[in-house]
Amino acid sequence: MQAKEIIEKLKLTFNELVGQPAPVALMDATLEDGTPVKITELTVGGIVTINDVPAPVGEHKLSDGTKIYVGENGAITEIEAPEEAPVAPAAEDMGAKFSAFESVTNEKFSSYEAKFASYETRFADYEVKLSKATTIIEGLINLTKELSEAPTGMVDPAAQVVNNFKEEKKKSYDILFN
């Protein structure tokens, strides 16, 4: 085994012990001059290497036009996306769009107004039914109150009242404690 392989295996083992994720697969790219490079991730903080050595400090332009600025140890400090030719916006008829939007909006509002009108009539019907139910409930409460307060009738003198419970005579133990 070569020294590089041993060091890489030690890094992997150490990362596993510490609980860090395994290294990210390197992305292959090419500089504008044709030099192959490897990038850990194309974001600020990613590492750029050329021939397994950190890329030199400075600006590097990839073959797709992306500019990357590399700091110490090959770390990416800034990324500039490639300049694209400005795209002319397509000419649109805003008047037609507005009239279409206006007609759709008017249709929606008219459908909402119809729904609200039907809800108002239903609520009015419910209010009438509720007032009738309230009147009936008040009458039932008054009737119940009168029935509970009125005597049930005269006592029949012929009816014999019998008490089926026997009274238990209490025994006195006062003599024992005097």
pLDDT in tens, the chain (178 residues): 677 777 777 777 767 666 655 555 678 888 888 889 888 888 888 888 888 888 888 898 888 888 889 888 888 888 888 777 566 666 678 888 899 999 999 999 999 999 999 999 999 999 999 999 999 999 999 998 888 887 777 777 777 767 777 777 777 777 777 6
Q: Is the dihedral of CA 158, 164, 165, 168 positive or negative?
A: positive
| C-alpha closest to that of 62 among 29, 27, 28, 25 | 29
**164, part of any domain:** no
Last residue in a domain, options 57, 80, 103: 80
**110, part of any domain:** yes
Task: Measure the CA dihedral 77/78/79/83, to 10°.
Answer: -150
Instruction: Round to the nearest angstrom and report the end-to-end CA distance of the chain.
Output: 110
Q: What is the pLDDT of residue 21?
A: 53
Domain count, the chain: 2
Asked if residue 35 lies in contact with residue 62, where contact means CB atoms within 8 angstroms, the answer is no
Q: What is the pLDDT of residue 134?
A: 92
Residues 111 and 66 in one domain: no
Q: What is the pLDDT of residue 46?
A: 84
Q: For the beta carbon of residue 89, count every other beta carbon within 10 angstroms.
A: 6
**11, part of any domain:** yes
**36, part of any domain:** yes
**163, part of any domain:** no
Q: What is the distance between the alpha carbons of residues 23 and 38, in angstroms, rounded to a whole number?
A: 13
Its domain, for residue 43, covers 3-80
Q: What is the pLDDT of residue 20?
A: 54
Last residue in a domain, options 28, 47, 80: 80
